[in-house]
Every structure is written in C-alpha cells, then in structure tokens.
C-alpha cells in the first residue's frame, strides 16, 4: 500500500514538473520574461552614461573600474553600429534596464561596475578579492514546502535535522561589516523565508546606505502592513516575490501551503502602500517564478500581476528538491556560481551554492574566517579548477547538478 502511494506521488509530481531542462543557465530566458516598466533604448542608455562621464561620479572611480565601464560603453558603441559584442564587452539585459531606470545618477557607475562583475567575471573566469554577490540567509525555515524546493526534503526541513535555525544579529552585523565597501550586491534570502525572522527590520536598518543592490526574495505570504512599511522605508533595490502561476489551482499545487488569494492580497497591498506612501521609492518589484510546467504562461502572469510589478519572469528549473538523489549527469561546463556568488547561512556556514543545501561543499564558517579569505582559499580554487578541467564529476553534488 505504501509503495503504491509513493508511486502515485511520483507520478503526480512528474505530471506537475514536466519541464525539465538538461542544463540550468543562470538568468531568464527571453521567452520567460515580461517587462512591465517602460525602459529606454540602447541609444538613450548610452547617452545617459556619456553625460555622466564628465562628472565626479566617474572621475572618482578607480582605474580598474574605469576600464570595466569602458567595456560597457564600447559594448553600446558596437551595438549601435550593428557590430557584435567583443568577448569582454557587455550591455545591460532587459531586466537590468528596469533597475537602471530606477537608480540615481550618482549610482550609475557603481551599478555598471557591479553588473559587469556579476555577469562577466563568471564568463571570463575572473576572481576578485570578493564575490560580486553575497546571499545572506536570515533563516533556513520556510512556511511553504514547494514541490521543486529542498524544503520538501524532510531530512533537511525537519526541526531535528540540524539544518534549521535563525541567524543571530551579531553574526549578521559581522558579515555586513566585512562586506561594506567590498560587495555591492546582497540578497537577503537563500534556503528559507526571510520574513520569518523577527529582526528582519533591524537587519535592513543595519544595511542602510552600505550596499547598492540589496534584494529580498519572499513568498509574500507573511506580509503585514508593518512589514511592508519596514521594507519600503529601507533602501533595498529589489523586492522579488516568488510566485509561479496566475491561477489558484496551479499556484497551490506548486507552492505547497501557499494560499493564492492571500498572496494576491498581500502583493496588492504592498503595491498600494508603495504607490500611496512611498511614491519616490527606487525599488524594483519582481514577480519571479520557477518554470516547471507548460501551463505556466508569461502572458497570463503579466495579465494578472502587471499592476503590481515592474518585472515578471520565470527562472529555469533545476531539481533542487532531490539534489543528492539526481542521477550523475554529463554536464561539463564550469558552474558560474563559483565565480559569481557565495552563500552565508544562518549558522555562519559558507557554501558556494544553494543546490548543495546540506553544505557538502562547505569547509568554512563566516564567524571564524573572513569572506575574502574563503573566496580566495585553496579549497575554493580547487573547486574552480575541477570545474574548469571538466572534473566536476569528482565533486558531490556538482556531478548531479545542472547549473552552468
């Protein structure tokens, strides 16, 4: 009987998760993104950058950062002349243009440098003193158990697993103190739902003015007016709501424990308060889902969620919910996470990614070792070298992961 039930569960899950790419490329596929906010054309972007080149915002940059800015301005030049981008050139992608619209002139070069590092360092395999982005996990618990998420793995999400907990404020402050001035992008989220942390407001207060691009990922289920004000009065750049469907049935099948009407009401309320009480907020709001099923349609998402978001997009699925049971695959491309992001979890454990949600790859604690030392450690170098030499099959769980 038990066997029959588990067979049925597997069949139901396979039906629900029917879109299974063999490779997970970071970012959004063009067909899976709906931009709501109006954005400018390449020429206008180039004009804005050119206008600011004669200001102190540019003059005060380091020589190295001026070179990175030139890779972008030359990229725009080539694009406007109808030429291909050179290998080390970059221009902003669609969803970045929305953020670019929202930033102040004095932040433009910081933004360009950060986006260049975030996108191009993994491609060019450049390792700086610090990663382009750090994800700090306030809490590893989540009130949802989404079908495609490691929270549905009970050996991880059970209270007794040893993986569950809340970050202490002192540890959070220690990490922030080190990253201030060295990293522009901080995401407050990883394996858990950040709004479960009672001190989220204090964390946001402590980060104020220290980073260019703070992002929160949330399932929106626990938003209250008080929390919405806390978030909107902070200086975060992006609020990403994790929502994957435009109808109740599919949403609640995917986001287990989620209630569609409640999520909709909370996102509506967030937008209402933002428009009425924070009209000058530079916040970009994103509805971000995981593409797992053919019935998820960007246009349907836009039709429903457009009034409340600047960007609507689906990311590619990878089977996070079974990271350690997935078959060994033949992906041979290096994983870009090793050059892009680093994760600090609630207990200080530092890990290269959240696919490895039980930290098999982790050797470090942020409470003992500085992030820059970890990022440039021999062990991290070994991981990168293995990936570059097509030896990711020697690493658990990289050999079962599709991230490239």
- Least CB distance from residue 152 to ligand SF4, whole Å? 18
Q: Which is nearer to ligand SF4, 72 or 338 (CB)?
A: 338
- Least CB distance from residue 286 to ligand SF4, whole Å? 21
| 397 belongs to the binding site for ligand SF4 (CB under 6 A) | yes
Q: Which is nearer to ligand SF4, 95 or 341 (CB)?
A: 341
What mask of x and - would describe binding to ligand SF4 in positions 339 to 378, judged by CB under 6 A? -------------xx-xx----------------------
Which strands make up the sheet holding 284-291, listed edge to edge?
28-35, 311-316, 284-291, 238-242, 213-218, 185-188, 133-136, 341-344, 349-351, 364-365
Q: Which is nearer to ligand SF4, 192 or 397 (CB)?
A: 397
- Least CB distance from residue 39 to ligand SF4, whole Å? 30
- Least CB distance from residue 384 to ligand SF4, whole Å? 10
- Least CB distance from residue 318 to ligand SF4, whole Å? 8
What mask of x and - would describe binding to ligand SF4 in positions 258 to 297, judged by CB under 6 A? ----------------------------------------
For the chain, what is the largest distance between any 2 Cα atoms, rounded to a whole number of angstroms?
A: 74
- Least CB distance from residue 334 to ligand SF4, whole Å? 8
- Least CB distance from residue 209 to ligand SF4, whole Å? 32
Contact 210, 180 (CB under 8 A): yes
Q: Which is nearer to ligand SF4, 77 or 329 (CB)?
A: 329
CA distance 362 to 5: 36
- Least CB distance from residue 335 to ligand SF4, whole Å? 3
Q: Compute the Cα dihedral for 63, 214, 312, 25 and give only its sign.
A: positive
Contact 386, 394 (CB under 8 A): yes
- Least CB distance from residue 373 to ligand SF4, whole Å? 19
Q: Which is nearer to ligand SF4, 10 or 389 (CB)?
A: 389
Q: Which is nearer to ligand SF4, 43 or 126 (CB)?
A: 126
Q: Which is nearer to ligand SF4, 348 or 352 (CB)?
A: 352
CA distance 86 to 397: 34
Contact 172, 138 (CB under 8 A): yes
User: Which phi and psi angles does 247 have, rounded to 5°?
Assistant: -135, 155
Q: Which is nearer to ligand SF4, 254 or 335 (CB)?
A: 335
Residues touching ligand SF4, count (CB under 6 A): 11
| 319 belongs to the binding site for ligand SF4 (CB under 6 A) | no
What mask of x and - would describe binding to ligand SF4 in positions 326 to 345, judged by CB under 6 A? ---------x-xx-------
- Least CB distance from residue 386 to ligand SF4, whole Å? 10
Which two structure tokens, joined as six digits, stand for 54? Answer: 């004669």
Q: Which is nearer to ligand SF4, 29 or 326 (CB)?
A: 326
| 401 belongs to the binding site for ligand SF4 (CB under 6 A) | yes
Q: Which is nearer to ligand SF4, 220 or 395 (CB)?
A: 395
- Least CB distance from residue 288 to ligand SF4, whole Å? 18
Q: Which is nearer to ligand SF4, 107 or 337 (CB)?
A: 337
Q: Residues in the site for ligand SF4, rule: CB under 6 A?
A: 335, 337-338, 352-353, 355-356, 397-398, 401, 403
């Amino acid at each position: 009987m038990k066997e029959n039930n588990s067979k049925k569960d597997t069949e139901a899950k396979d039906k629900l998760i029917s879109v299974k790419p063999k490779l997970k490329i970071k970012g959004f596929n063009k067909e899976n993104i709906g931009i709501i906010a109006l954005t400018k054309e390449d020429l206008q972007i180039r004009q804005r950058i050119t206008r600011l080149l004669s200001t102190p915002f540019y003059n005060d940059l380091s020589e190295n950062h001026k070179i990175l800015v030139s890779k972008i301005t030359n990229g725009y030049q080539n694009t406007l002349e109808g030429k291909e981008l050179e290998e080390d050139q970059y221009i902003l992608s669609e969803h970045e243009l929305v953020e670019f619209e929202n930033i102040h002139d004095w932040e433009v070069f910081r933004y360009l440098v950060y986006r260049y590092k975030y996108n191009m360092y993994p491609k060019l395999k450049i390792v700086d003193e610090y990663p382009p982005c750090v994800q700090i996990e306030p809490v590893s618990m989540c009130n949802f158990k989404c079908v495609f998420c490691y929270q549905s793995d009970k050996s991880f999400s059970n209270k007794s697993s040893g993986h569950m907990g809340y970050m202490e404020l002192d540890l959070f402050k220690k990490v922030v103190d080190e990253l201030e001035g060295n990293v522009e992008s901080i995401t407050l989220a990883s394996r858990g739902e950040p709004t479960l942390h009672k001190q989220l407001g204090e964390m946001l207060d402590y980060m104020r003015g220290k980073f260019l691009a703070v992002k929160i990922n949330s399932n929106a289920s626990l938003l209250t007016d008080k929390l919405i004000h806390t978030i909107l009065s902070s200086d975060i750049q992006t609020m990403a709501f994790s929502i994957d469907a435009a109808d109740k049935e599919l949403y609640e099948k995917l986001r287990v424990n989620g209630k569609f009407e409640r999520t909709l009401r909370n996102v509506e309320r967030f937008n209402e308060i933002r428009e009425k009480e924070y009209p000058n907020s530079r916040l970009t709001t994103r509805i971000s889902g995981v593409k797992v099923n053919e019935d998820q349609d960007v246009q349907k998402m836009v039709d429903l969620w457009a009034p409340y978001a600047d960007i609507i997009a689906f990311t590619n699925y990878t089977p996070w919910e079974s990271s350690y049971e997935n078959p060994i695959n033949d992906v041979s491309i290096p994983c870009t996470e090793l050059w892009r992001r680093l994760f600090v979890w609630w207990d200080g454990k530092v890990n290269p990614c959240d696919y490895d949600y039980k930290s098999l790859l982790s050797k470090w604690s942020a409470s003992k070792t500085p992030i820059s030392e970890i990022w440039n450690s021999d062990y991290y170098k070994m991981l990168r070298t293995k990936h570059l030499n097509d030896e990711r099959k020697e690493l658990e769980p990289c050999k079962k992961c599709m991230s490239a």
